Chain A
Amino acid sequence: MRHIPGMSTGALRGWFLVHKWTSIVCTAFLLMLCVTGLPLIFHDEIDGLAEHHPAYARGGVASAGNDPRLKTLDEMLAKALAARPGEVPLFMAFDNDRPLMTVTTGPSPEAPEEKMTVQLWDRSTGEAVGEEEPKGVMYVLLKLHTDMFLGLPGMLFLGAMGLLFTAAIVSGVVLYAPFMRKLPFGTVRAGRSARVRWLDYHNLLGAVTIAWAAVVGVTGVINTLATPIVQVWQTSELAQMTRAYAGQPALPPAQYGSLDKAMATARAALPGANPQFIAFPGGAYSSKHHYAVFLQGATPITERLLTPALIDARTGALTDARPMPWYAQALLISQPLHFGDYGGLPLKILWAVLDAFTVVVLGSGLYLWLGKGPSTSGRVREIETGAVLEGAAK
């Protein structure tokens, strides 16, 4: 009765090696992601503390609405452009709770992110609230967390680490079965050797965090694919929607028409929806001739799913409006599930605790690998027996 029914020692050894090697490769990066991710969970609260505009924290008219007290979009855009002479508009984004809105400008319609400037405006008073401070500690943490300052390759690399982490979770579940055969769930043999104690912590915390870690891991991988996902959408679906304009030269910014007219067209095309942001012509989120008004639904679920209305930027007429395809919706749903910012402060605190548990799982795994321990065969035997024999032999 040495081995588990259905799994030979050879198969167990295979799973052990999968667990070992996938973990060895990804652990250092996962630890970095857990540590940088912890403060990012609370970025709203931390930004709120650092913000110098407590009056804007809550209340007032939502900039995403069409309350008559709000300034027109054309007026807001003109003010933002006056603050950045010579630049062109790239994005305009709205808030569902506050009068705040952002206007992103750059030297040209296809300006890269580093050249963009984000201005914060109050749409109820028409006053500037300032430029978003992009180079703080939180910015550094966010860059480390998303691409380690390496751009798309860094992002995709972290995605690959996330895939290895997923493989480590799956192989860990397989190894959990033989290890726990003789042990009641949750056993922590604190009186045994450090190795047995940490094996137990590793198994307990690994077992309770499986679902959370798998969801945050997989949605993190999907988030690393954001750039290719948007590119695929732009070159397939968006190209199809704006087919009639293919081959025409890019619309020069001087010929951009009224934003308010475009917004009215978009609202008429999708009644009840509110704008999340407008992408200007020439960027990654639109064609070279359209204002892409990204509208969100009014219910909690549809609020996360965006439908772009493509408005001819010169005439203000509707070209097409279609919900984002499934792969883009998957990305939109993955964002809250990865960030943990969708269920109030208690959810964020639970997110932080589970993040800390994951750090212990990673750290104990590292200890079990690096620490003095048996050979591979001995380790496989340790898993097969739940390390129950070690104590008996002592």
Chain B
Amino acid sequence: MKSAPHGRRSLWAVFAAPIAIAMASLTGLVVALTGDGVRDAVAWAGLGVPVAITAWALSARRR
């Protein structure tokens, strides 16, 4: 993005963040099925990732 104004990111670069968010979400969705207590907390953390990232993007990536 810095050198070439029309520089293109690789597919991997485009999907790295969405894949990481999806993995965190899926982990949360599944872990809560397997028990309560700590497992619920792991689920909240996992499913909290998409919400937290959105809050971050809406402030830090706003232009």
Contacts from A to B (Cβ < 8 Å):
1, 176-177, 180-182, 184-191, 204-205, 207-212, 215, 300-301, 304, 333, 336-337, 342-344, 346-347, 350-351, 353-354, 357, 388
- Given A186-B57, A300-B33, A336-B33, are A350 and B44 neighbors across the interface (CB < 8 Å)? yes
* Contact between chains at B33 and A208 (CB < 8 Å): no
B50: contacting residue among A176, A181, A212, A215, CB under 8 A = A212
* Contact between chains at A388 and B18 (CB < 8 Å): no
* Contact between chains at A181 and B48 (CB < 8 Å): no
* Contact between chains at B33 and A212 (CB < 8 Å): no
10 contacts between A and B (CB under 8 A): A180-B14, A185-B14, A186-B17, A188-B57, A208-B21, A208-B50, A212-B50, A301-B34, A343-B44, A347-B43
Roughly how many angstroms separate A184 CA and B29 CA in the complex, as a whole number?
Answer: 27
* Contact between chains at A181 and B9 (CB < 8 Å): yes
A210 contact set on B, CB distance < 8 A: 18, 21-22, 25
Q: C-beta contact mask, B41-63 vs A, less than 8 Å → 1, else 0? A: 00110011011011011101111
B36 contact set on A, CB distance < 8 A: 300, 344
- Given A176-B18, A181-B14, A188-B61, are A353 and B33 neighbors across the interface (CB < 8 Å)? no
Where chain A touches its partner, the secondary structure class is helix
* Contact between chains at A190 and B32 (CB < 8 Å): no
Chain B nearest Cβ from A392, distance in angstroms? 9
* Contact between chains at A188 and B33 (CB < 8 Å): no
Q: What class of interface size applies to chain B in its complex with A?
A: 35 or more
* Contact between chains at B29 and A204 (CB < 8 Å): no
Roughly how many angstroms separate A301 CA and B35 CA in the complex, as a whole number?
Answer: 7
* Contact between chains at A333 and B33 (CB < 8 Å): yes
* Contact between chains at B32 and A350 (CB < 8 Å): no
Where chain B touches its partner, the secondary structure class is helix
- Given A177-B14, A181-B14, A388-B6, are A346 and B44 neighbors across the interface (CB < 8 Å)? yes
* Contact between chains at A212 and B32 (CB < 8 Å): no
Roughly how many angstroms separate A343 CA and B31 CA in the complex, as a whole number?
Answer: 9
Chain A nearest Cβ from B51, distance in angstroms? 5
Roughly how many angstroms separate A213 CA and B16 CA in the complex, as a whole number?
Answer: 19
* Contact between chains at B53 and A342 (CB < 8 Å): no
Known: A304-B33, A346-B44. 5 other contacts (CB 8 A): A176-B15, A188-B63, A207-B17, A210-B21, A300-B33
Which residue, A176, A182, A301, has most C-beta atoms of chain B within 10 A? A182
Chain B nearest Cβ from A174, distance in angstroms? 11
A182: contacting residue among B7, B17, B51, CB under 8 A = B7
* Contact between chains at A211 and B25 (CB < 8 Å): yes
Roughly how many angstroms separate A1 CA and B40 CA in the complex, as a whole number?
Answer: 48
Chain B nearest Cβ from A30, distance in angstroms? 18
> Of all chain B residues, which has the CB nearest A181?
B8
